[in-house]
Amino acid sequence: MNLSDYFAMGGYAAFIWPSYGVAVLLLAALFLLSARRLQAAERLLEADTADRDLPDGDT
Amino acid sequence: MRRGYGQRRDFAADASWHSDTIGAAIHRFANPGRFLRLARQLLPWLAGATAISFAVGLYFALIASPPDYQQGETVRIMYVHVSAAWIAMFAYAWVGLASAAALIWRHPLADVAAEAASPVGAAFTLLALISGSLWGRPMWGTYWAWDARLTSFLLLFFLYIGHLALLNAFDDRQRGRRSAAVLAAVGLIDLPIVKFAVDWWNTLHQPASVLKMDGPSIDPSMLRPLLIMALACQCYFFLVTFLRMQALLLEARQRARLYRRNTASPRGTATATRGSGA
């Protein structure tokens, strides 16, 4: 079986590849957004604790 | 105990909470600080499990599995569609039950669990809807039908959207969380409707072929990619949900710091000025 036959997916390429494409896009985007939000929260809290020393020692 | 939760009720101080042992156990494991430590240790393992299971799952789904005798190659869409739909429903059960727990026990981690998982569930729901219609076009001849399974699943998507909208609809976060929790908990009723729609009504959508009483009716060569892809989606759900829960907890901690600072120092100076003026 050659490569173009494989990508043609028995004539259903136009339905199969977009399904996988949408899956990759959606899941990757949500993962990256979530990871960046966590990073931002960590950085903000770190900067804030370095700046100020609250009396109760809360981090 | 007050760490990061300056604005919430303090459960450690609540004697009735500790008097019941189940409550005490939940409290011990669902303590936000403990959760943060646990999640930090768990994340690399979850990330690894997600990456490996997606790699293996995609290999079986796209390469090492045969075309179906009726559906041809389009059966490969099922490996995305069915696993996404399963996790969409699992995620909704998570959001709905956490919301119910938040309403009943007012535990801060339950609210966070519901809020963090909601976008993940919404993404899987959207994915199941899109991949389903991409399969429906060549196999049924239509992208969409107002069939009981499809309609109840579309409702699931609207429940997620409504939940996320309510969370952000109020200036008072607590009010937003409470109304979102009520919607999410009531929406749980949609899960059995989605699951049994194919049995209760004459649907275009086919009935269950994996989760049924007399065992799966799929060939092992197709069940294998499906189950591995479902496992991958399940790992992804926990990975991203825990990431988001950590972010929400740290953001709450930061808000509590700001709140304490803003309520503590200006009042101090105000009294001092008033004092000197008199």
Query: Residue B176 domain-assigned?
Result: yes
| Residue B118 reports pLDDT greater than 50 | yes
CB contact at 8 A, B40 and A41: no
Q: Mean pLDDT over residues B161-177, rounded? A: 94
Contacting residues of A for B72, CB less than 8 Å apart: 10-12
Picking from B71, B58, B144, B61, the residue whose alpha carbon sits closest to that of residue A12 is B71
Amino acid B14: pLDDT:
46
Summarised one tens digit per residue, pLDDT across range B56-113 is 999 999 999 999 998 999 999 999 999 999 999 999 999 999 999 999 998 889 999 9
Number of other residues whose CB lies within 10 A of the CB of residue B204: 14
Question: What amino acid occupies position A5?
Answer: D
pLDDT band at residue B273 using 50, 70 and 90 as cut-offs? very low
Least confident of B10-19, B122-131, B189-198: B10-19
Residues of B in Cβ contact (< 8 Å) with A56: 2
pLDDT at B114: 97
pLDDT at B245 over 80: yes
Residue B110 lies in a domain: yes
Is B246 in contact with A35 (Cβ distance < 8 A)?
Answer: no
Please report whether residue B27 resides in a domain: no
Contact check, Cβ <8 Å, B126/A19: no
Mean pLDDT of B128-152: 95
pLDDT of A36 strictly over 70: yes
Distance of CA B264 to the CA centre of its chain: 37
Task: Give the pLDDT score at B27.
Answer: 61
CB B99 within 8 A of CB B110: yes
Contact B135, B35 (CB under 8 A): no
Residues in A touching B253 (Cβ below 8 Å): 45, 58-59
Whether B254 and A42 lie within 8 Å, measured CB to CB: no
Structural domain range at position B97: 34-206+221-264
**A53 vs B149 pLDDT, higher one:** B149
Distance from A5 to chain B by nearest Cα, in Å? Answer: 12
The average pLDDT across B212-228 equals 89
Residue B120 has pLDDT above 60, yes or no: yes
Query: What was the pLDDT predicted at A49?
Result: 83
Q: Does the ipTM surpass 0.90? A: no
At residue B265 the predicted structure's pLDDT band, cuts being 50, 70 and 90, is low
A54 contacts in chain B (CB < 8 Å): 257, 260-261
As given in the structure block, the two tokens for residue B92 are 């909704």
Decide if B84 is inside a domain: yes
B41 domain residue, yes or no? yes
Domain membership flag for residue B9: no
- In 3D space, the residue among B25, B2, B22, B26 whose CA is nearest the CA of residue B12 turns out to be B2
Q: Is A9 on the interface with B (CB under 8 A)?
A: yes
Give CA–CA dist B24/B16, Å, rounded: 10
Q: Does any CB of chain B come closer than 8 Å to the CB of residue A5? A: no
**Domain assignment of residue B7, yes or no:** no
For chain B, say whether A51 makes contact (Cβ under 8 Å): no
Average pLDDT over residues B120-125: 98
The pLDDT of residue B202 is 84
Residues from chain B contacting residue A34 (CB–CB below 8 Å): 240, 243-244, 247
Q: Indicate whether B4 belongs to any domain.
A: no
Smallest Cα distance from B3 to chain A, Å: 6
Count of structural domains, chain B: 1
CB crowding B92-127: b at 16 or more within 10 Å, else e: bebbbbbbbbbbebebbbbbbbbbbbbbbbbbbbbb
